[in-house]
Amino acid sequence: MTDGTFGNIDALAGELRALGRLIGEAAAPAAGAACVGASGVLALTRLVRGMGPDDWFEMASRNGLSQWLALPVAEQDFPLLSHLLATLDDLAFRTEHDALTGLANANFFTRRLEKELDRVNRDGAVLSMALLSIDDLDGLTGRFGPAWAERVFMELARTMGRVKRPYDLAARLGENLFGLILPGARPHNVCAMLERLQAGLAASFACSGGDGSGNGGSGNGDATAGVSFCAGHTTCVGRISGRACDFHELATAALTQARRKGAGCIQATKLPDESFSPQATMVHSDEKKFLFSGI
Amino acid sequence: MDNKTLSVAIMSGKGGVGKTNLALNLGFCLFKGNHPVVLMDCDLGLANLDVLLGLAPDKNLQDVIDHDVPPEDILVPIEPGGFDFLPAASGVPELFEMDEDMRALLLSKLHPVFADHHYLFMDLGAGINPTVLSFASMSRVRIIVVTPEPTSLTDGYALIKVLATQRGVKDFLVVVNQVESKAEEQQTFSRLNMACEKFLGFGLTLLGSVRMDKALPESVRRQVPLMKRTPDSPAGKDLFALARKLHSLRASLLPQLAGEPVLVNFSSGTPD
Ligand SMILES: Nc1ncnc2c1ncn2[C@@H]1O[C@H](COP(=O)(O)OP(=O)(O)O)[C@@H](O)[C@H]1O
Ligand SMILES: [Mg+2]
């Protein structure tokens, strides 16, 4: 590897050798071995960025990791390794997150949805999901440019982060498609949350003078003051027959319906689970009449 | 070892219809007939069996759940020689609903206590909540207590309907409490029974009735079981007759019970 990012592969190898020597010296008294790799002693290394020895001691005592050897290394002595590590962290983050907004991405969203549905099947818990998209994006982007759309997405992501509960998941699933997984939320909870989100989004544009970044605006205040989204949501309780894709489909159908109705609409779909509707167990009026009168 | 314990859930849609008194007094009769009996207060949030007995146990089922207290330590003898009681906590909000795993864990801990007795009476709380539904569907026999009041009848029917449609439970014994006459017993039972036949597709079994009797509130005030204080009162005679029927029910079920757990696991939870 001789690309500009990590420099010469030999330089990187040099840093690794230096690290190996350091580990060998540190491990020798503890393990009674002369160097790494000899006499059946194996050192497993992982570089952890942004953590000092004190942090480690605390974490090790809390989690029973005291048999691990921690070796402080100065970042400036291993510039290439540090850079490589940062890049790996970044890649790991990017495989699960949307680059623009920092929200979870579609892959991550689907995996989490599967997990939550498993939980619902197991415990009979309640689970909701919502999909939303910004209204009239094309028309407004046409008038105010693509940068405007990005600002709206970022503001929406920030507002989602503020309005959701810590254990909800907010994700960006497509260019103009956002999703929420809301464990334990029933339709009225979802509705209330989406309304708060709607209000929060409108307010953040209103108070920043039409510019989501809050840095003075760029003359499109009138257009952005009316930012809204349509949302569709669905809820299941207990066993549901389908999988994540079916659940997703129901929310999509709700979103389509909401968009047909007009800007700012929130729509719930018919619930996939029969047991959510109490019809089956409810005592109806003919049954009551019979109990009272015998006819 | 073969199971000998008959589990009996005592339940009602509406509160205050006489479940706790029924559990206590049936238990007392059967104990006097030489059968060890354990009463379990399954109204985990609003216990009151202890109140009827004038007891104030310092440990309860909540301690078994929360603090791993062995069940023998919470078992309170009502009468020496095998009439025992498992108290529940009072003032635990319904928010603290046990989940399935927790319930299974609790019941497996309690099993040795159950196995030591011939009858396990579970005094369930009123209403339709997950705890009531699971205990009711796990017990071998269910007694649904109603009074001739229309509210009690509809609430009892609602509970039967939920258990039938959601858990597939279709066998219920009915006790009509606080009746003024035999005719009232018959009318109340047949309303409920016919509604079940007509709308749910199965019938109920009448275990019997207990007359309205001021000896009952009197025994509650004195915190002594009616069957101990005034067994010859009208309600006492009725309760004795009910106990005899349960006694022969257990005798006839014994061969089957041997091959079953004390609490049957109706774990499916799906409508059928
Ligand atoms: N057969 C009866 N005759 C008169 N009063 C009764 C009878 N059965 C129950 N009661 C009264 O109803 C009250 C409630 O009974 P209880 O057993 O505590 O009901 P539950 O457990 O269903 O809430 C008792 O205090 C008692 O005075
Ligand atoms: Mg009671």
DSSP assignment of B36-47: -EEEEE--SSB-
Q: 3-class DSSP state for residue B123?
A: strand
**Nearest C-alpha in A relative to B188:** A291
Place of tokens 């109603």: B146
Compute the mean pLDDT over every residue in chain B, rounded to the nearest whole number: 91
Residues A83, A133, single domain; the answer is: no
Contact B195 A123 (CB under 8 A): no
Size (chain B), residues: 272
SS3 B199: helix
Element (H, E) at A233: strand A229-237
* Number of Cβ within a 10 Å radius of residue B237: 14
Count: domains in chain A = 2
Least confident of A123-132, A163-172, B143-152, B232-241: A123-132
Task: Identify the three-state secondary structure at position B208.
Answer: strand
Is A243 found in the same domain as A172? yes
Task: Note the Cα A177 to chain centre separation in Å.
Answer: 14
Residue nearest to atom 10 of ligand 1 (CA): B18
Q: Which atom belonging to ligand 1 lies closest to the Cα atom of B14?
A: 22
* Cβ proximity of B244 and B251 under 8 Å: no
pLDDT higher than threshold 50 for residue B267: no
Tell which one of B10, B21, B144, B185 to mutate to probe ligand 1, the residue whose CB is within 8 A of the most ligand atoms: B21
Please give the Cα distance from A131 to A218 (Å, whole number). 30
Q: A158 to each of A101, A162, A203, B130, B165, how far by Cα in Å?
A: 8, 6, 13, 39, 45
Is any ligand 1 atom within 6 A of the Cβ of residue B269?
A: no
Q: Which of A199, A136, A132 is nearest to A170 (CA)?
A: A132
Chain B residues with CB under 8 Å of A238 CB are 269
What one-character DSSP code corresponds to residue B96?
S
- Which atom of ligand 1 sits closest to the CA of residue B24? 17
Is A83 among the domain residues? Answer: yes
Are B161 and A275 a contacting pair at CB < 8 A? no
Nearest Cα residue to A235 out of A280, A191, A197? A191
Say whether both A123 and A26 belong to one domain: no
Residue with tokens 């017993």: B185
- Residue A99 included in any domain: no
Looking at the structure, tell me whether residues A141 and A30 fall in a common domain.
no
- Cβ atoms within 10 Å, residue A45: 12
Q: Are residues A87 and A170 in the same domain?
A: no
Interface membership of A292 toward B (CB under 8 Å) = yes
pLDDT tens track for B22-79: 999 999 999 999 999 999 998 766 677 888 888 888 888 888 888 889 999 999 999 9
Contact B192 A291 (CB under 8 A): yes
Q: Considering the entire predicted model, what is its pTM?
A: 0.65
Q: Is residue A122 part of a domain?
A: yes
Q: What angle do CA B215, B217, B220 make, to 5 degrees?
A: 105
Same domain, A90 and A112: no
Query: Which sequence spans correspond to the domains of chain B?
Result: 6-257
Q: CB–CB of B199 and A124 under 8 A?
A: no
* Contact yes or no for B55/B102 (Cβ under 8 A): no
Residue A226's Cβ-side half-sphere holds a number of Cα atoms within 13 Å equal to: 9
B153 contact A CB<8A: yes
Give the Å distance between the CA of A288 and the centre of ligand 2. Answer: 25
pLDDT in the model for residue A277: 55
DSSP string, A190-217: HHHHHHHHHHHHHHHHHHTTT-TT-SS-
Boundary residue ending a domain (A94, A128, A162): A94
Residue pair B179/B148 in contact (Cβ under 8 Å)? The answer is yes
**Over residues B166-178, mean pLDDT:** 96
**Ligand 1 touching residue B217 (CB < 6 A):** yes
Question: A213: domain CATH number?
Answer: 3.30.70.270
Q: Estimate to the nearest angstrom the gap between the alpha carbon of B213 and the chain centroid.
A: 21
CA-based nearest residue in chain B for residue A125: B99
Per residue in A149-173, pLDDT (tens digit) is: 999 999 999 999 999 999 999 999 9
Cα-based distances in Å from A229 to A199, A207, B13: 10, 18, 45
Domain termination site, one of A39, A73, A94: A94
Predicted local confidence at residue A34, as pLDDT: 42
B94 SS3 class: coil
Contacts of B158 in chain A (CB under 8 A): 281, 283
A234 shares a domain with A184: yes
Let me know whether A6 and A125 are in one domain.
no
Q: Does A294 touch chain B (CB under 8 A)?
A: yes
Q: Is B210 in the pocket of ligand 1 (CB under 6 A)?
A: yes
- Calculate how close chain B gets to A27, using CA atoms only, in Å: 44
Measure the CA–CA gap between B98 and B44, rounded to whole angstroms: 9
Domain that holds residue A262: 106-293
Residue ranges of chain A whose pLDDT lies below 70: 1-7, 27-41, 207-225, 238-242, 270-279
Confidence of residue B272 (pLDDT cuts 50, 70, 90): very low
Measured in angstroms, the CA of B229 and the nearest CA of chain A are apart by 36
Residue in A281, A282, A293 to test binding to B, most B beta-carbons within 10 Å? A281
Decide: A110 and A155 in contact? Cβ < 8 Å. Answer: no
In a domain, A125, yes or no: yes
- Average pLDDT, stretch B241-260? 96
CB B123 within 8 A of CB B45: no
Q: How far is the C-alpha of B164 from the C-alpha of B202, rounded, in Å?
A: 9
The answer to whether the beta carbons of residues B228 and B28 sit under 8 Å apart is: yes
Q: Same structural domain for residues A284 and A168? A: yes
Same domain, A68 and A182: no
Cβ distance B195 to A287 less than 8 Å, yes or no, reads yes
Mean pLDDT value across residues B146-174: 95
Q: Dig out the tokens for B95 from the structure.
A: 């928010």
Q: Provide the percentage of residues in chain B whose pLDDT is more than 70.
A: 93
Other C-beta atoms within 10 Å of A219: how many? Answer: 10
Residue A280 covered by a domain:
yes
- pLDDT of B155 reads 94
Which band of pLDDT confidence, cut at 50, 70 and 90, is reported for residue B269?
A: very low
For CA atoms A25, A27, A33, A38, give the dihedral sign. negative
In angstroms, the CA A148 to CA A141 distance is 7
A288–B154 C-beta distance less than 8 A: yes
B209/chain A closest Cα distance in angstroms: 18
Chain B residue with CA closest to A282: the answer is B158
pLDDT at B266 over 50: no
A228 and A120 share a domain?
yes
User: What are B43's two structure tokens?
Assistant: 């109204």
Q: Please tell me whether residues A254 and A143 are part of one structural domain.
A: yes
Two tokens, residue B108:
């497996």
Q: Comparing C-alpha atoms, which of B192, B178, B191, B156 is closest to residue B239?
A: B178
Residue A89 covered by a domain: yes
Nearest CA of chain A to the CA of B24: how many Å?
29
Is A225 contained in some domain? yes
Evaluate whether residue A101 is within a structural domain: no
pLDDT at position A28 is 62
Write the CATH number of the domain with boundaries B6-257.
Answer: 3.40.50.300
Q: Could you tell me the two tokens for A16?
A: 């690794």
Residue A264 token pair: 């700012």
Distance B216 CA to ligand 1 centre (A): 7
What is the rounded distance in angstroms from the CA atom of residue A209 to the CA atom of residue A166? 29
Find the closest chain A residue to B190 by CA distance: A294
d(CA B46, CA A39): 67
Sheet holding A177-183, edge to edge: A169-174, A177-183, A126-134, A229-237, A266-268
* A249 or B236, higher pLDDT: B236
The residues in A 92-131 lying below 8 A from B, measured between CB atoms, are 123-124
Q: How far apart are CA A227 and CA A242, in angstroms?
A: 35
Whether the predicted pLDDT of B195 surpasses 90? yes
Q: Does the CB of B269 have a partner CB in chain A at under 8 Å? A: yes
**Poorest-pLDDT segment among B49-58, B89-98, B217-226:** B89-98
Is A36 in a helix, a strand, or coil?
coil
